[in-house]
Amino acid sequence: MKLEVERAVWDLAHRQRGVVTRDQVLAVGWSPWALNRRVQAGLLRELFPRVYMVGAGEPPGAREQAALLVAGEGALLSHQTAAAQWGFLPPASGEPIHVMLVGTERGRVTGLRTHRVRRLQPEERSERAGFPLTSPARTMLDVAAVVGGRKLERLLSGAERSGLVPAKTWPGLLVRYRGRPGVAALRAAMEIPKGPAFTRSAAEDAFLDLVRRAALPRPESNVALESREIDFLWREECVAVEVDGYEYHRTRRDFDRDRAKDAWLIARGFRIVRLSWHQIVEEPLATAVLLGQVLARGGPDAQAARPAARAPATAAPATAAPATAASATAASTTAASATAGSSLPPSPPSARRPGVNRVQGSVALPELSPGASPGGRGGGAVGGTTRRARGWP
């Protein structure tokens, strides 16, 4: 009989991720004395009042299971805990478990974050990995009502990446829950296309201000090249800059579109530089130096004019056929026809441009003159980081 009781307790723990309640083990046949003795011996560990972990380990989901058991029948995982279960937020160890209680006045439970609601619609209930929890849409709404800033942005990005709450369904979600807590925060966050304070005009202003302070040549903005639109372009240098928002606002469609644009630009001879809001605002000096280095490399003609590795000397042929005017004319005609109608920007007339120092085939940043004008092609570029750091605005 004793062996059967022990087996029943272990089977119960196995079905409940290693967790049992006091009432359950007493119902199976343990006495209060037997329960207390196992707790004192370390065979049972109390997670919540009257809820125990069997054994020394703690399998995944044990605390969530214990929270539901102590909260009672009808409880659901909600808020940040449900968001982690859906994959909207990363799991957070050490934070309290969020549980929703529907139509009950049960008291608070130590170690739990309880949320009481009078009613919950059937479509707002769901199940995942064996846990009852709030639906993806309801979870988004609940979390938006209690968090803000970066955590709310991560929530939106995770929801879209998961495919459980596609972005196209968000407008209907806002209408459905109109007037409830969290709707205003969700609406405000969804209307920001590339992150906080990161509208397209703000990105342009911040980047152009960085270019001005670094005394770099001013690029063209929002340039249309065939069917593509480029954020910033230096034509002669064949350098394109794209300003991206935070990664947790990027969807797979955005990612694929950006990769396609990069490949399109590279195939046409451009060098592509992608900058984040953090690089522009928080690391302006390093970003300016990076841009100066890229611009100093020059366009296609400058690339071709760099010294190549010296080949072993070979004996010159005894006679060489003189070049004829006809062959020179044919070569120039062929080159002109090859570039006619191309979308590539014009290459600079010379491999050496003002302000660019070249040392033994490598590129050195141009020296920064104290009186360099911020705009125009004649403006200097960023010099050594030590010199510029002292005078950085």
Residues contacting 38, CB < 8 A, separation 6+:
44
Query: If you count them, how many residues does the chain have?
Result: 393
Most confident by average pLDDT, 99-113, 194-208, 212-226, 248-262:
212-226
Quick one: which H or E segment has residue 350?
none
* 275, 287 contact by CB (below 8 A): yes
- Tens of pLDDT, residue by residue over 223-271, are 888 878 888 999 999 999 998 764 434 556 677 788 888 999 999 999 9
CB atoms within 10 A of CB 200: 12
58-62, 78-82, 83-87, 213-217, range with the lowest pLDDT: 58-62
In this prediction, residue 323 carries a pLDDT of 44
| 4, pLDDT greater than 50 | yes
Residues contacting 375, CB < 8 A, separation 6+:
212, 217, 218
In this prediction, residue 202 carries a pLDDT of 67
Residue 115: name the closest of 135, 126, 101 by CA: 101
Q: Locate 158 and state its tokens.
A: 């995770």
Which residue would you say has higher pLDDT here, 125 or 351? 125
Q: Dihedral of CA 87/90/91/92: which sign?
A: negative
* 156, 86 contact by CB (below 8 A): no
Left (φ > 0), alpha (ψ -120 to 50) or beta: where does 226 sit? left
Q: How far apart are CA 144 and CA 141, in angstroms?
A: 5
| 373, pLDDT greater than 60 | no
- Tens of pLDDT, residue by residue over 77-92, are 999 999 999 988 887 7
In this prediction, residue 169 carries a pLDDT of 73
In this prediction, residue 342 carries a pLDDT of 42
Q: How far apart are CA 376 and CA 251, in angstroms?
A: 37
Q: How far apart are CA 321 and CA 315, in angstroms?
A: 16
| 200, pLDDT greater than 60 | no
Q: How high does pLDDT run on average in the chain?
A: 73
In this prediction, residue 80 carries a pLDDT of 92
State the average pLDDT over residues 28-54. Answer: 87
Helix, coil or strand: residue 328: helix
Buried b (16+ CB within 10 A) or exposed e, 166-192: eeeebeebbeebeeeebbebbeebeee
| 351, pLDDT greater than 90 | no
In this prediction, residue 151 carries a pLDDT of 76
- Tens of pLDDT, residue by residue over 295-311, are 998 766 555 544 444 44
pTM: 0.50
Amino acid at 246: Y
In this prediction, residue 274 carries a pLDDT of 92
Helix, coil or strand: residue 392: coil
Q: Locate 224 and state its tokens.
A: 């249309």
In this prediction, residue 277 carries a pLDDT of 78
DSSP 308: P
Give the pLDDT band (50/70/90) at residue 216.
very high
Which residue would you say has higher pLDDT here, 152 or 385? 152
Query: For residue 212, with 0-12 CB atoms within 10 Å meaning exposed, 13-18 middle and 19 or more buried, which class applies?
Result: middle
Which residue would you say has higher pLDDT here, 106 or 179? 179
| 206, pLDDT greater than 90 | no
Residues contacting 11, CB < 8 A, separation 6+:
none
In this prediction, residue 108 carries a pLDDT of 74
| Helix segments in the chain, DSSP class H | 2-15, 22-28, 32-40, 62-71, 79-86, 136-146, 149-162, 170-176, 183-190, 200-213, 252-267, 277-281, 284-296, 300-305, 325-339, 385-391
| 138, pLDDT greater than 50 | yes
147-151, 216-220, 236-240, 339-343, range with the lowest pLDDT: 339-343
In this prediction, residue 329 carries a pLDDT of 42
Give me the residue spans of the domains in the chain: 2-54, 62-190, 194-306+350-393
Considering the segment(s) 194-306+350-393 as one domain, its CATH architecture is 3-Layer(aba) Sandwich (3.40)
CB atoms within 10 A of CB 198: 20
In this prediction, residue 90 carries a pLDDT of 80
In this prediction, residue 98 carries a pLDDT of 95
In DSSP notation, 166-221 reads: -GGGHHHHHHHTTTSTTHHHHHHHHT-SSSTT--HHHHHHHHHHHHHHTTPPPPEE
